[in-house]
Structures are given as structure tokens and as C-alpha cells.
């Protein structure tokens, strides 16, 4: 729970300060006027320094002056004995509980509001609490609107972007950077809002909105007025009426902020909160492009990882602080977090953390998120996530369509085999880092999945893949719901050009038959004995697969299997008949014939070469 510091400047020039938790009676006092005067002197010196051009080597001097202002701010709160005891107790309590102390500052006067409260230190002779990772300072603004209780964490973040000047180069650059960030992080997607009030995107179940404003400094006054008129919340209206009031967080970029009125920048957060925003992160001075990029990257990464907004703000400002720039537009404390109620600071995280997606996949819809997270948990002990983990994760999620029902039936019949394939691989020693980017096959599905894909759409894509390893477990996937034979076109007829790994960490990897080659397991410790090496640098491997060649082919592309007794070839063939009332495809007819190893096998597309029980290759 935060502590609230309220500061009022009295008519005779003195200060009245109260400190306390929102649910407690505050400690109130009038600090020593000498401490207030010392703060004003330090603040004026810093402002004079900021008005001059900085040269290399002056960064340390500026940092020293900033820290002096922070210490002077802190000294004001410690100048009274009762205030000193209260603030010190809260700091000690936060450290004992290993939590960050959040200080919400409510300054009733514009002059007091311009002070850099973010530099509040841990002691009159200490350093800023945010720099020490002890806490953070937020601004508390008056608002006519009631705080709306928030629901459970979502599964995805929608960045609702509003930019009245998209053709301005600086604004276009920020738009492109946000698009790039959305592609890197998951689950995030960007939507552009109309400039004026029109039917805005409806709320989506499971998705949490963040409103990101990209404003242009020279036109800031007109653009802010347009925003408030179009999307501001009027007294008595539903908070769901507009993105400004519906958003859990409003983030503001002001491009070319040096051309904006300084007073308007300083009151930007308060004006947006008064218009309906529950929390707003915005600059109070010009912020350069590098600082804005670092802020967005740290902020959105933390939100996606399940951090509460104030912790995400800390991470964003930490990124700006790490730049260690010598320009006034790269100072972390120029970025202010303003809230309309301390209850905003008690809300939970915006998103469930730890969502997993294969590299390149678009952001999923709600029902696919939980299944993918569960698949990642199942793969944790195996060092990879493949289709077998996705199939095993289906148990906890309802079947909403024919594709997912068919996969559920397959898992019911073949759970043991699926588990054995995933658990049978041996951990390497010395260990090799796991690869969580997804198997080659899963990564390849990225181009077939649309933004916001559902669980049913995901399984439809996987089942439509004729080369999916699920086809090796059961012929049911090759028969339509009308019980009509539907094995992939060309299977059993066309000559293959490649061999494709089925299942395991290399699922989807292809070996070309165009040139003669031999196949064996990668040797972690010595010379390699084959042209094509399986389980190369994977965290787990098939110990029963020999490091000597087990498979080879010449210019005629006719493989010869050599190896253990259970090596061989599986050839799928369709039954000559399928009854209309068949419900158990596994018992409908014999679908498999085996060809023993150690003799040349002229492959057909769809044939499966069994090197070991865990390692199989399909002719494609």
C-alpha cells in the first residue's frame, strides 16, 4: 500500500505537509522554513544549469545537482520530528518486507507540482529511492471521476494508438517503433484510433487496453483539446464509453517537445486524469527519441511479464536511466506517472505473465493463450516445446470445434505414446541451453496464423499440415468427419525429395535427398561420423540413436537402414472400405505395413523411416 504525501503552500509562504497511508489518519506538520528555503535554492540552481548548453564532462555535475534537489526535498519531510519518524518507519517497513515503497505526492499548487518529486531520496543525505530500487514516486491528481474496480488480469495487451500527425517524421518513427515492439513482445497488438469520436474498438474479452498517445509538440495545445473533446469522460458517463477512460494506462509521447509550451507539458498528466484517465505516464519536459524508445521497451516488457503498472513504470524509467545521457531530454525523472486515486496503485497486474509463443507467431486470442502456456510448462523438463506438448495440453481446455475435438480423441487414444516420445530423450551433460523458440515446424506455422487466432484455428492449421507428426500416431486425422478417406494427395505415389524429422526438438527439420548422404546422431565430444547430424546442440537427445551412420542414400535416392532391430519403415495405406458408422478409426482396418531394415527401400511420399522408437523421418 502506498503512502500519500500532500503538500500545500500557505499564504505566508510556508508549507503544510501531511504523510500517511490512505486508510490511516495522516501525520501533519509545518516543516522548518529554512529547509523549504534550501530546497528552493537547490531547485533554482538546477533550473539555471538546465538553461545552458551542456558539454561532454558536465554529466556528473548535472547528476550531482539533481541529487542535491532530491536530498533537499527529502530534508523538508525530515525537518519535522513527527514527519521524520513517519517517513523513516515506512522506509524501514518496506525494506523489511522486501517491497518497494510507493510515495504518492499530491501537490495542490502549480509551483509545488513543478518540483522533481521523483528525486525523493531515502534520507536527507541519501540518494533517490528509485535509483536505489527502494521505491518510486507517483503524482496524485484530483479527478471528478470514481475509480473503477478492475477485473482479473488479461491475456493480451491492446495498444490503442492515437496520433493526429502521423506524417511528421518523428511521429512516424514512434509509430514504427511501437509496431516493432508489438512484433517482439507477446501478446501485444496495436490498433489505430480515429482522431475524432467515432465507434472505437469494442473491448475484447481477455484483452487489456493501454492508450498510447503520440502527440506533436508544436500542435500540442490543439491536439490535447481535440483528444479531450472526442474521448474525454463527462460526469456520470460510463467509463466504458471511450478508450481514454477504459484504458488501464495512458502513455504519452510528445515528439519535438521543445516546441511545446512548458506549462502545458507540466500539467499534461493532471489534465488527462481530469478527463477520465485512471493512470497516465507522460513527460513533463522534452524527452528525446532514444529515451522514449527505452521507456516503451522497459514498460511494455514489464507489463507483458505480469508486472503491476507502477513496477512497469519503474522498469521503463530504469531503461532511460541506463542511457546515462548528457542531454536534458534523456533524464528519467522527466517522465511522470500520475494517478487519479491511490486505489489505482493497489490494482493487480494487467496481464498474466509468462505467456509463451513460438518465434514469429502473431498474438493469440484468449482460449489459445492458456493452452500455449500449459504446453510451455509441460515442455519445461524436456528442453523444448513441440506439437506433442500442445496436444498433451489439450486436456484442460474445452473443445470448441471439429479440429480440437479430433485432436482430443487422438490424445485420448495415444497419450502414453505421446508422453514417451517427449520424456524418452536424455539430458545432455555438460548441459546445453534449452531452445524455447519452438520447433522448426511450429515456427513455420507463423505465416499461416492470423492475429488473434483462436484455439480451434490453431488446431485447424496443424491438422491441415499433411506432414504434421500427429499423422504418424493415428490415421483418424486422415479421414474426414464424414468418414471419407482423405490421406494427403500424392502419398504412396510420388517420389520424395526430402526426409523430414517427426517430433522431438528438431520436428520439421528437412534433409535433402538431392545429394548422397549418411545420417547419425551429433557427437558432443568428438569427431562427427555422418553428413547429416540429428539432435545437433539440443538440450536433450535420443541416446539410442547411434553416432555412427544408421541411414544412407546414394545418387538413386534409395535409403538403406542399418541399426537396431526395431528400425524399419512404416507405410500408410488407406483401407479398401470405411463403414458409414465407424467411430473408432484405430480399429476400422489395418492401415500400416512394416518393411524390415538392412535392405534398400524405395520410398514413397508419406513413408516413415523408424531409426529408433524416438527418432523418425518422413519422406516428403
Per-residue pLDDT tens digits for 58-112: 777 877 888 899 999 999 989 889 999 999 999 999 999 889 999 999 987 888 8
Cα 268 to Cα 270: distance, rounded to the nearest angstrom: 6
| Residues 248-263: tens digit of each pLDDT | 999 999 999 888 888 8
Q: Give me the pLDDT at residue 366, please.
A: 67
Parse the chain into domains and list their residue ranges: 3-140, 156-346, 366-619
Q: Give me the pLDDT at residue 588, please.
A: 38
Q: Give me the pLDDT at residue 286, please.
A: 87
Q: Give me the pLDDT at residue 216, please.
A: 95
Helix (H, G, I), strand (E, B) or coil at 547: coil
Cell numbers that stand for 80 in this block: 519535522
Q: Specify whether the CB–CB gap between 105 and 69 falls below 8 A.
A: no
From residue 124, how far is each of 21, 71, 72, 98 by CA, in Å? 21, 5, 7, 22
Q: SS3 helix, strand, coil % of the chain, rounded to 5?
A: 35, 20, 45
Residue partners of 366: CB distance under 8 A and separation at least 6: 155, 156, 205, 206, 207
594, containing H or E segment: strand 592-595
Cα 179 to Cα 182: distance, rounded to the nearest angstrom: 5
374, containing H or E segment: helix 366-379
Residue partners of 587: CB distance under 8 A and separation at least 6: none
106, containing H or E segment: strand 101-107
Residues of the chain where predicted confidence (pLDDT) is lower than 70: 51-57, 146, 148-149, 186, 197-200, 234-241, 325-328, 366, 473-493, 562-567, 572-599
Q: Specify whether the CB–CB gap between 539 and 569 falls below 8 A.
A: no
Cα 211 to Cα 230: distance, rounded to the nearest angstrom: 14
DSSP letter for each residue of 568-588: EEEEE---S---TT---GGGT
- Please tell me what DSSP assigns to residue 30: -
Q: At what angle do helices 289-304 and 309-323 cross, to 10 degrees?
A: 140
Architecture in CATH of 156-346: 3-Layer(aba) Sandwich (3.40)
Q: Specify whether the CB–CB gap between 569 and 558 falls below 8 A.
A: no
| Residues 307-320: tens digit of each pLDDT | 999 999 999 999 99
Q: Give me the pLDDT at residue 595, please.
A: 56
Question: Residue 115: which of 245, 7, 260 has the closest Cα?
Answer: 7
Mean per-residue pLDDT of the chain = 84
- Strands 101-107 and 517-521: what pairing? unpaired
Place of cell 507502477: 310
Q: Give me the pLDDT at residue 493, please.
A: 63
| Residues 270-300: tens digit of each pLDDT | 999 998 899 999 999 889 899 999 999 999 9
Q: What is the pTM of this model?
A: 0.67
| Residues 542-599: tens digit of each pLDDT | 999 989 888 888 887 778 776 555 567 777 654 444 444 444 444 433 345 555 666 6
Q: Give me the pLDDT at residue 576, please.
A: 46
Helix (H, G, I), strand (E, B) or coil at 504: coil
Cα 168 to Cα 215: distance, rounded to the nearest angstrom: 10
Cα 163 to Cα 212: distance, rounded to the nearest angstrom: 9
Residue partners of 345: CB distance under 8 A and separation at least 6: 1, 2, 102, 104, 138, 310, 339
Cα 591 to Cα 585: distance, rounded to the nearest angstrom: 10
Amino acid at each position: 500500500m502506498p503512502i500519500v504525501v500532500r503538500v500545500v503552500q500557505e499564504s505566508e509562504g510556508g508549507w503544510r505537509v501531511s504523510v500517511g497511508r490512505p486508510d490511516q489518519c495522516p501525520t501533519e506538520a509545518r516543516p522548518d522554513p529554512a529547509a523549504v528555503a534550501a530546497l528552493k535554492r537547490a531547485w533554482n540552481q538546477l533550473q539555471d544549469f538546465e538553461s545552458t548548453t551542456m558539454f561532454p564532462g558536465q554529466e556528473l555535475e548535472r547528476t550531482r545537482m539533481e541529487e542535491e534537489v532530491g536530498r533537499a526535498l527529502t530534508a523538508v519531510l525530515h525537518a519535522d520530528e513527527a514527519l521524520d519518524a513517519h517517513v523513516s518507519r515506512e522506509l524501514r517497513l518496506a525494506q523489511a518486507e522486501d517491497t518497494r515503497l510507493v510515495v504518492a505526492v499530491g501537490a495542490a499548487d502549480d509551483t509545488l507540482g513543478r518540483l522533481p518529486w521523483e528525486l525523493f531520496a531515502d534520507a536527507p543525505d541519501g540518494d533517490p529511492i528509485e535509483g536505489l530500487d527502494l521505491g518510486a514516486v507517483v503524482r496524485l491528481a484530483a479527478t471528478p471521476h470514481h475509480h473503477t474496480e478492475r477485473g482479473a488480469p488479461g491475456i493480451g495487451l491492446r495498444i490503442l494508438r492515437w496520433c493526429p500527425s502521423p506524417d511528421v517524421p518523428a511521429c512516424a518513427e514512434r509509430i514504427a517503433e511501437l509496431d516493432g515492439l508489438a512484433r517482439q513482445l507477446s501478446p501485444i497488438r496495436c490498433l489505430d484510433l480515429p482522431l475524432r469520436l467515432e465507434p472505437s474498438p469494442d473491448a475484447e474479452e481477455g484483452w487489456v487496453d493501454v492508450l498510447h498517445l503520440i502527440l506533436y509538440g508544436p500542435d500540442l495545445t490543439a491536439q490535447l483539446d481535440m483528444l479531450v473533446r472526442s474521448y474525454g469522460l463527462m460526469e456520470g458517463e460510463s467509463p466504458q464509453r471511450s478508450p481514454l477512460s477504459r484504458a488501464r494506462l495512458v502513455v504519452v509521447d510528445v515528439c519535438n517537445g521543445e516546441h511545446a509550451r512548458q506549462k502545458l507539458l507540466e500539467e499534461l498528466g493532471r489534465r488527462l486524469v481530469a478527463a477520465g484517465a485512471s493512470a497516465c505516464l507522460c513527460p513533463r519536459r522534452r524527452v528525446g527519441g532514444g529515451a522514449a524508445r527505452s521507456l516503451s521497451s522497459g514498460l511494455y516488457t514489464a507489463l507483458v511479464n505480469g508486472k503491476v503498472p507502477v513496477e512497469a513504470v519503474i522498469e521503463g524509467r530504469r531503461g532511460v536511466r541506463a542511457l546515462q545521457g548528457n542531454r536534458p531530454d534523456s533524464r528519467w525523472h522527466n517522465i511522470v506517472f500520475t494517478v487519479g486515486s491511490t486505489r489505482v496503485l493497489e490494482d493487480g497486474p494487467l496481464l498474466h505473465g509468462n505467456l509463451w509463443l513460438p518465434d514469429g507467431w502473431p498474438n493469440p486470442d484468449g482460449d489459445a493463450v492458456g493452452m500455449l502456456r500449459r504446453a510451455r510448462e509441460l515442455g519445461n523438463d524436456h528442453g523444448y516445446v513441440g506439437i506433442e506438448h500442445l496436444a498433451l495440453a489439450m486436456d484442460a481446455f474445452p473443445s470448441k470445434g471439429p479440429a480440437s475435438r479430433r485432436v482430443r480423441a487422438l490424445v485420448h487414444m495415444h497419450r502414453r505414446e505421446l508422453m514417451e516420445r517427449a520424456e524418452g530423450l536424455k539430458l545432455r551433460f555438460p548441459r546445453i541451453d534449452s531452445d524455447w523458440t519452438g520447433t522448426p515446424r511450429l515456427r513455420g506455422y507463423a505465416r499461416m496464423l492470423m492475429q488473434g487466432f483462436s484455439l480451434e484455428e490453431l488446431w485447424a492449421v496443424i491438422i491441415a499440415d499433411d506432414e504434421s507428426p500427429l499423422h504418424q500416431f493415428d490415421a483418424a486425422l486422415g479421414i474426414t468427419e464424414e468418414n471419407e478417406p482423405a490421406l494427403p494427395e500424392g502419398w504412396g505415389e510420388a517420389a520424395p525429395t526430402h526426409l523430414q524429422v517427426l517430433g522431438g526438438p528438431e520436428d520439421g527439420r528437412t534433409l535433402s535427398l538431392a545429394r548422397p548422404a549418411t545420417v547419425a546422431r551429433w557427437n558432443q565430444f568428438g569427431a562427427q561420423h555422418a553428413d547429416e547430424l540429428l539432435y545437433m546442440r539440443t538440450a536433450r537427445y535420443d541416446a539410442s540413436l547411434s553416432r555412427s551412420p544408421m541411414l544412407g542414400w546414394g545418387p538413386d535416392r534409395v535409403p538403406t537402414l542399418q541399426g537396431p532391430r526395431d528400425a524399419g519403415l512404416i507405410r500408410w495405406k488407406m483401407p479398401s472400405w470405411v463403414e458409414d458408422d465407424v467411430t473408432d478409426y484405430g480399429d476400422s482396418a489395418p492401415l500400416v505395413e512394416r518393411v524390415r531394415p538392412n535392405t534398400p527401400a524405395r520410398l514413397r511420399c508419406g513413408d516413415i523411416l523408424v531409426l529408433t522408437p524416438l527418432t523418425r523421418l518422413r519422406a516428403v
